[in-house]
Amino acid sequence: MNSERPALYEMFDDRFRTGRCMSGDAGLEVLYTGCRWAEGPVYMPAWRQVIWSDIPNDRMLRWDEETGAVGVFRRPAGHTNGNTLDREGRLITCEQGNRRVTRTEHDGTVTVLADRWQGKRLNSPNDAAVKSDGSIWFSDPDFGITSDYEGYRAESEIGANNVYRIDPGSGSVHLVADGFGAPNGLVFSADERQLFVSDTRAGFIRVFGVRDDGTLSDGEIFAEAAARSAARFDNLRFDDGGRLWAAAMDDGVHCYDPDGTLIGRLDIPETVANISWGGAKRNRLFITAQTSLYSLVMGVTGTHPTGPGPRP
């Protein structure tokens, strides 16, 4: 099958084929093009729309699944990057330019969830993951303050690039992991006992054990970008077979077996920034890559962004 679809699927291990990772569409669908740097897609089930960020243009766009229409969701948008959903279906957004994490309420108002740690301004929140207990975990590299292209040039008040957790009860912000070059994508395993975090500058995906009190064990290396010379890791997503899918920038989308083996990849024509599952069956992969939003209906199903258990 791999020889029949060289333009999209590349298999390194037979598990990529037997796991149905090569089933589905034979090619990518281009849903929109015209961004400067597309990021952070999230599928909104109630609206049947995808919301994503166009960071340098300081706008958020939306694509309608029924009509295919694309329009502006928000502008200005605080140079937003990553987006996800909370347990109530509300939009959680990392605003690089405004240096904060926000929640869009059902009535459209915006609530600031975090903009400081120990009284110091955050660098530029990048990506977020919501745990089933309602806590929100986010990465805070310095991409939005190194220049005016994706935010506003400034000095870091914290002096480091870390991962934080927002307590669901008190709203307090806790440092949970440090020692990164630039933490980027983060995602919980299905049982929420592990947190996977990509480090774009270091070229690693690290995996941490998650303790009951919300602290993390020391992170171990799960995957290295050095295995593929063109790869740099951005965001991460799981499918329901326990495989980790990683936006690997100039090397497309990587697929890792639960044991850490790179078993295959998707060859994308632009630099891949972010991926997200959506659609009625959660088997449609949405991909933001440089100027465009792509999609691919697959034979595998993605996990829900807000973890296991019932949702309203």
As annotated, the binding site includes 39, 126, 150, 184, 234
Is 18 in a helix, a strand, or coil? helix
DSSP one-letter string for 157-179: SS-S-EEEEE-TTT--EEEEE--
Q: What dihedral angle (degrees, nearest 10) is formed by the CA atoms of 242, 248, 254, 260?
A: -60
Annotated binding site for substrate: 126, 150
Chain length of the chain: 312
3-state SS of 183-247 is EEEEEECCCCCEEEEEECCCCEEEEEEECCCCCECCCEEEEEHHHCCCECCCCEEEECCCCEEEE
Question: Do residues 184 and 233 lie in contact, with contact meaning Cβ atoms separated by under 8 Å?
Answer: yes
Provide the residue type at 12 as one letter: F
Name which of 238, 266, 260 is nearest 22 in CA terms.
266
State whether residue 263 is helix, strand or coil.
strand
| Cα–Cα dist 31/121, whole Å | 36
CA atoms within 13 A on the CB side of 204: 15
Per DSSP, the residues of 24-63 read B-SS-EEEEE--SSEEEEEEETTTTEEEEEETTTTEEEEE
Residue ranges of the binding site for a divalent metal cation: 39, 184, 234
Pick from 181, 101, 198: nearest CA to 146: 181
Q: Between the CA of residue 204 and those of 176, 220, 236, what are the distances in Å? A: 18, 10, 12
Q: Indicate which residues carry an active-site annotation.
A: 234
